[in-house]
């Protein structure tokens, strides 16, 4: 991609608008403010903005107490963020990042309102985790200024940002945003505008195959998590991570990817996850999910110590290889489709979801033949397209 000649977004006087003051919105606001930007924070729910700013104040105070932030810097970060009660408050923004509910109709309606207030030069970005950037931009009067800027939760801590141009995005905008994210201390990667982009596409089997294993009574959520932490050295197992993300959020992303890939069986959502969402067992935010976080529950806030011996059982090893092989297959397919460069594919999975290794390197280490054999055995057992191999896998 060509480097833009417009250095407007690289100055410290940048005015950034944030739409949505939930967890992601306030997190992105903190990142932008910390980088010296003037931030305008808008949410249709003013009470949510007040709650989030109160939470941010507490977070900044804790960072100050721990010596990670000076009191002066903490005050600067907080005071740089100006709450707005109306979307017109974003009118002077050079860049606006939307971080609201994952619903295309709601997002496009907000973008339509926003366009009537901001200048033609203002870049509009969406923090969507799975909705097509081209699709979101199609209703805009100036779709060439629209781009995906996907942060990961929690935004102040997670380094990765996926930069996703749509088919209508001006050629200079992606590099401009890439450079800006670097100046904010982030690790940006370019991604194609495909369902799920890099991370949320490749990571689907980490959740989907784990859910399938539990649905088949092969193992419990706790046992699957233990296998992935201990054998795979993942920081969190899939069920712990779903509880952290929010089971409803994770389910919604899976539904979007499944639908946008024209119901490809590889991305088929889980009935168990749907039932959990219907029961409002959403994980940490509701107190109960696959684990119980209430006072009467186990209070599972950290990974439990492993009971797996140095020699895992054949069932434990099979669970690990089943999930990992599905992940590596997705990584290889992403490489085949040139969704991103090999380096960015590896970087994205390590920096976006804390995988212990890049999946292409992991496949090479284990041996692609072994991965292929595992998938072939699964296909023979289930006779499902879910387990089809990437055409590139057998050539690796």
Mean pLDDT per 10-residue interval, the chain, length 396 residues: 44 88 96 97 96 97 95 97 97 97 94 96 96 94 97 95 97 97 97 96 98 98 96 96 94 93 96 98 96 75 56 94 98 98 98 96 98 98 97 95
DSSP state of 288: B
pLDDT at position 194, please?
A: 95
In the chain, residues under CATH classification 1.10.1040.50 are 200-395
Note the CATH number of domain 200-395: 1.10.1040.50
Model pTM?
0.91
pLDDT at position 3, please?
A: 37
List active site positions: 129, 150, 162, 200
pLDDT at position 389, please?
A: 98
pLDDT at position 60, please?
A: 97
pLDDT at position 295, please?
A: 79
For residue 221, give both structure tokens: 């959520």
pLDDT at position 306, please?
A: 59
For residue 220, give both structure tokens: 């419990």
Residues found in the chain:
396
In the chain, residues under CATH classification 3.40.50.720 are 8-190
pLDDT at position 1, please?
A: 36
pLDDT at position 139, please?
A: 87
Q: What is the CA radius of gyration of the chain?
A: 21
For residue 3, give both structure tokens: 């480097």
| CATH class of the domain whose range is 8-190 | alpha beta
């Amino acid at each position: 991609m060509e480097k833009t000649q417009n250095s407007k977004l690289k100055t410290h006087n940048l005015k950034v608008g944030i739409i949505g003051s939930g967890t992601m919105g306030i997190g992105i606001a903190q990142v932008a403010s910390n980088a010296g930007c003037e931030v305008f924070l808008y949410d249709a729910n003013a009470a949510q903005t007040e709650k989030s700013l109160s939470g941010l104040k507490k977070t900044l105070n804790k960072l100050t107490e721990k010596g990670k932030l000076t009191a002066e810097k903490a005050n600067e970060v907080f005071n740089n963020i100006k709450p707005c009660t109306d979307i017109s408050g974003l009118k002077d923004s050079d860049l606006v990042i939307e971080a609201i509910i994952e619903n295309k109709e709601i997002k496009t309606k907000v973008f339509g309102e926003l366009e009537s207030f901001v200048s033609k030069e203002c870049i509009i970005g969406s923090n969507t985790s799975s909705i097509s950037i081209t699709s979101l931009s199609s209703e805009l009067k100036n779709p060439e200024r629209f781009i995906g800027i996907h942060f990961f939760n929690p935004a102040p801590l997670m380094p990765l940002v996926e930069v996703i141009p749509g088919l209508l995005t001006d050629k200079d905008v992606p590099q401009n945003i890439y450079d800006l994210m670097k100046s904010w201390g982030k690790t940006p990667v370019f991604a194609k505008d495909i369902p799920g982009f890099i991370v949320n596409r490749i990571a689907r089997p980490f959740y989907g195959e784990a859910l399938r294993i539990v649905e088949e009574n092969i193992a419990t959520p706790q046992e699957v998590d233990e296998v992935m932490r201990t054998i795979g050295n993942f920081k969190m197992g899939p069920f712990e991570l779903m509880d952290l993300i929010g089971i409803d959020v994770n389910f919604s992303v899976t539904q979007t990817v499944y639908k946008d890939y024209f119901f490809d069986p590889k991305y088929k959502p889980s009935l168990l996850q749907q039932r959990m969402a219907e029961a409002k067992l959403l994980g940490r935010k509701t107190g109960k999910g696959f684990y119980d976080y209430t006072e009467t529950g186990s209070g599972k806030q950290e990974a439990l110590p492993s009971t797996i011996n140095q020699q895992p059982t054949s069932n434990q090893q099979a669970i690990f290889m089943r999930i990992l092989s599905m992940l590596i297959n997705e990584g290889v397919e992403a490489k085949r489709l040139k969704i991103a460069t090999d380096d960015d594919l590896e970087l994205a999975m390590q920096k976006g979801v804390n995988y212990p290794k890049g999946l292409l390197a992991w496949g090479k280490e284990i041996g692609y033949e072994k991965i292929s054999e595992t998938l072939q055995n699964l296909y023979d057992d289930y006779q499902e397209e879910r387990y089809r191999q990437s055409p590139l896998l057998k050539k690796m």
